[in-house]
Chains A and B, each alone.
Chain A
Amino acid sequence: MTAPAGGPVLECSGIRKSFGDHAAVKGIGFSIARGETYGLLGPNGAGKTTTISIIAGLLEADAGEVTLGGEPMNPDATHTKRLVGLVPQDLAIYPDLGAAENLDFFGRLHGMKGADLRRRVAEVLEIIELTDRADDRTQEYSGGMKRRLNIGVGLLHRPALLILDEPTVGVDPQSRNAILDSVEQLGEEGMAVLYTTHYMEEAERLCDRIGIVDQGELIAEGSQADLVRIVGQRDRLTLTATGSLAATAIALGGLAPVDDAAVTDDGIALIVDRAHDHLPEILAVAGRTGSLVKSVDVDSADLESVFLKLTGRALRE
């Protein structure tokens, strides 16, 4: 199920969606070309899932336009939906059916049948490495196996655009690696992939271009190199600390070499010009303002730094 050659597989612009008084998506727009893996990076609640629900035709946008292969997408656009493979964040498979039965069922809903369906089910079982367990009920699978099947269902009908919504949440490291390998492989095979995550490392590894989403807005977009340039030559300094973190963050934010300082779950994240040179001063301020620093990490600028720079908050807050 491929999109016409030429233009982008997905184009969306000015997408808006509100739920009551809450504006979940505020004018997001981007495009994805064939063979490109595009990452939507943002914290939980940023509007990523609402955006992909609109792109997948599950939700009607209040405003804006979505086209897939040049065809408009909306909840009634049955024909356009054939171009999309959706891998939802939560598992969406029948636990009392086997992997082959689940794949067969969703294949039929995509209009596949007969020998083509049987052949494709066997192929996908190979891809997701579940051929040996194809007939076992999925309730007997490990979490990673279920995740792989969840992705397999999205791949089955050879979509032009595969949408993966946080596919590695709650997955063990080994399965996570296998999933990331599969996504890399799909991109290389020419499939357009839209990948949402709040794991910076995944976006860095997989995505040709990344859109950073926060509070329903696309606040930056580009390749990883483009985005890091926003931060410049500054370092990301992570203090693992306890105590008066808020007061310390405010005090550190006032230091000349510090661009941004934000409280995280277990300390404070900072964007600092030449962090190694200013480390003694930073630790002294932390001590004076009532924080006990347990460890210090200095990293060169990355997507986490970009997010902190753009929003004043850490990505995983």
Chain B
Amino acid sequence: MKPVAIARVNLVRFFRDRSAIFSVFLLPMLIVLLLGAMQGGASVPKLGFVSAADDALTSELLSILQGVDGFEAVEIDGEDSAVRQVERGGLQAAVIVPAGYESTLRSGGDVEIRLVIRAGQEVQGIGEVIGAVITRQATLLRTARFAAQKGAGTFDEALAVAEVAQVALPPVSVEATIAGEPFVLAGLGQFDIFAQGMLVLFIFLTTLNGAANLIQSRQLGVTRRMYSTPTPVRTMLAGEALSRFSIAIIQGAFIFIGTWLVFGVDWGSPIGSTLTIIAFALVSTSAAMLLGALVSNDQQAGGISTALGLGLAALGGCMFPLAVLEMLSDTVYRVAHVTPHAWALEAFQALVAEDAGVADIAGFLLILVGYAAVFGVLATWRLRKVLVR
């Protein structure tokens, strides 16, 4: 099997370069780790609760906040620490309850609760929820205080009546209608979105970098010597393509399995993910072959492959999720889909966020295979000429 012999030698040469070990195995995992850590588990927003008081109303407020769905309320020791954590993204918001909260309220005084919210559209809703919870407690307290002042018993008796009355009152119903698509990041874990982006980025970048090996073989005269053996050009092409494809699959499989094992990344349907990796590996292979055919200098190829690998990844949504691009601009979102990267990411996001199956992502896979076919035909046409020159 001559293609296997060619692929084997290319793989040995590729992985004999120590920088390849770093860029293929260590770098992607480090980036997923760093970006995931920066994201800080944002899928369950954290609310800091700071209180200088140790009274029943403060405990009750914390208890109410801890019972609210959509965020996790945690006690923080000290206002400065809470503000710092909000600034750094560890907390999405912090509620700061002043000393003497209960006693001031009982005595009829005004109390100011500080709410520190992290900048950003997505946390505005948390602020509104927290405000509503505090307002609800304050309303009950004001009602009880008013009743006590009017001689309807003690403050505690009036508060108990107000709490019962509030539960007994018919609620005001709010009918909500969902408009537009759900925000696609919803449902994705801390590392999921970055793992998908880095998998697509690194499959393409690593495979494209392999184009330099193809050019080196030509520069070394080895390709010409191969042609002097009883090896047809089509076999040489098959061997070179198999080399690039093997590198793409190794890269994809490593990130897929590595992030699943180390970071618990959810990849959705294993068959769907595997097919997406294979389809995108085919795109990367044919793109690398095309680059190897068009460029005659390996250093030039190295520069171009890095620029293309990173540029298309940024454009295609590997660094900024497609949903974010869509929020920024329709045009940017449409341009992103000129790249095969965007279609691969669409497939991965459908598999994870929408629990899609193979049939649901078939359209994305076909588009990827289409890219591979176009690049592959161009590369084959060009390489048949340059390989034997």
Contacts and interface: CB of A to CB of B under 8 A. Distances in A.
A-side interface size class: 20 to 34
B16 A78 contact: no
B229 A106 contact: yes
Interface of A: 56-58, 75-76, 78-79, 81-82, 84, 86, 88, 90-97, 101, 105-106, 108-111, 153
A79 B229 CA distance: 9
Interface stretch (B52-60, B183-191, B220-228): B220-228
A108 B220 contact: no
Interface of B is mostly: helix
A94 B222 contact: yes
A137 to B, nearest CB: 8
B383 to A, nearest CB: 15
B2 A109 contact: yes
Which 7 residue pairs are nearest across A and B when measured between Cβ atoms?
Answer: A92-B221, A108-B5, A92-B225, A109-B229, A86-B228, A78-B230, A81-B230
Interface of B: 2, 5-6, 9, 12-13, 16-17, 217, 220-222, 224-232, 388
Quick one: which of B217, B224, B230 has the most chain A CB within 10 A?
Answer: B230
A97 B9 contact: yes
Interface of A is mostly: loop
Given A58-B224, A75-B388, A109-B2, A94 B9 contact: yes
Contacts of A86: 225, 228
A93 B229 contact: no
B13 A96 contact: yes
Contacts of B220: 91-95
B226 A109 contact: yes
Contacts of A81: 228-230
Contacts of B227: 57-58, 75
Nearest to B228: A86
B71 to A, nearest CB: 55
B229 to A, nearest CB: 4
B225 A108 contact: no
A58 B5 CA distance: 21
A93 B229 CA distance: 14
A56 B221 CA distance: 15
A197 B221 CA distance: 19
Contact of B225 (A88, A96, A97): A88
Contacts of B9: 94, 97, 101, 105
A96 B20 CA distance: 14
Given A86-B228, A110-B230, 10 more contacts: A56-B228, A78-B230, A90-B221, A92-B220, A94-B13, A97-B9, A105-B5, A108-B2, A109-B5, A109-B226
